[in-house]
């Protein structure tokens, strides 16, 4: 999945504010949402839905290698958090479309920015991994 250019990053004062939250074992509310946003499938769902609304089967194909159960759980979690809108149309056969809410679009842009950074910096990450592995072999 290719990642397009990100929106501006989060304001520094917000980062400082978040850093003041409890970082211990207790799961405070923002950490739970952060877990949902950055989960394996949450990231991919949010980035895909930035492009356009999807039906369930289209979204599953676009993401690839995700089970129906995991995609369903991810969508339900993101819907509960107010990030994804589920639009079930009363037709036969049933049609359900998924799209981002305004809050979801905002979050997805931040997640996409991280994905873009990862894609752009992968060479540096790989070099660091190689150096670490080489050093570890020589210990």
CATH number, residue 120: 1.10.10.10
71 in any annotated domain: yes
| pLDDT band of 26, cuts 50, 70, 90 | low
Mean pLDDT of the 7-23 span:
55
Question: 111 and 47 in contact (C-beta within 8 Å)?
Answer: yes
29 in any annotated domain: yes
| pLDDT band of 130, cuts 50, 70, 90 | very high
Strands (E), 16-89: 54-55, 84-89
For the cut 90, the answer to whether the pLDDT of residue 99 exceeds it is: yes
State the pLDDT at residue 3: 57
State the pLDDT at residue 28: 85
Nearest-angstrom CA–CA distance, 79 and 104 = 9
For the cut 70, the answer to whether the pLDDT of residue 96 exceeds it is: yes
Domain count, the chain: 1
6 in any annotated domain: no
3 in any annotated domain: no
State the pLDDT at residue 12: 56
| pLDDT band of 11, cuts 50, 70, 90 | low
Nearest-angstrom CA–CA distance, 131 and 25 = 32
Within a 10 A sphere around the Cβ of 119, how many other Cβ atoms? 11
pTM of the model: 0.79
Residue 138: φ, ψ to 5°: -95, 5
State the pLDDT at residue 1: 55
User: The domain containing residue 116 runs over which residues?
Assistant: 12-137
User: What does pLDDT average to over the chain?
Assistant: 89
């Amino acid at each position: 999945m290719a990642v397009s250019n990100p929106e501006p990053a989060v304001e520094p004062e917000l980062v400082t504010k978040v850093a003041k939250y409890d970082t211990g074992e207790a799961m405070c509310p923002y950490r739970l949402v952060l877990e949902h946003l950055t989960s394996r499938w949450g990231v991919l769902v949010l980035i895909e839905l930035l492009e356009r609304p999807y039906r369930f089967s289209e979204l599953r194909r676009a993401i690839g290698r995700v089970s129906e159960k995991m995609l369903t759980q991810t969508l339900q979690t993101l819907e509960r958090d107010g990030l994804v809108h589920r639009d079930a149309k009363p037709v036969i056969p049933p049609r359900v479309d998924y799209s981002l809410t305004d809050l979801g679009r905002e979050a997805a842009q931040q997640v996409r920015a991280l994905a873009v950074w990862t894609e752009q910096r992968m060479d540096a990450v790989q070099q660091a991994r190689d150096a670490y592995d080489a050093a570890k072999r020589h210990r």
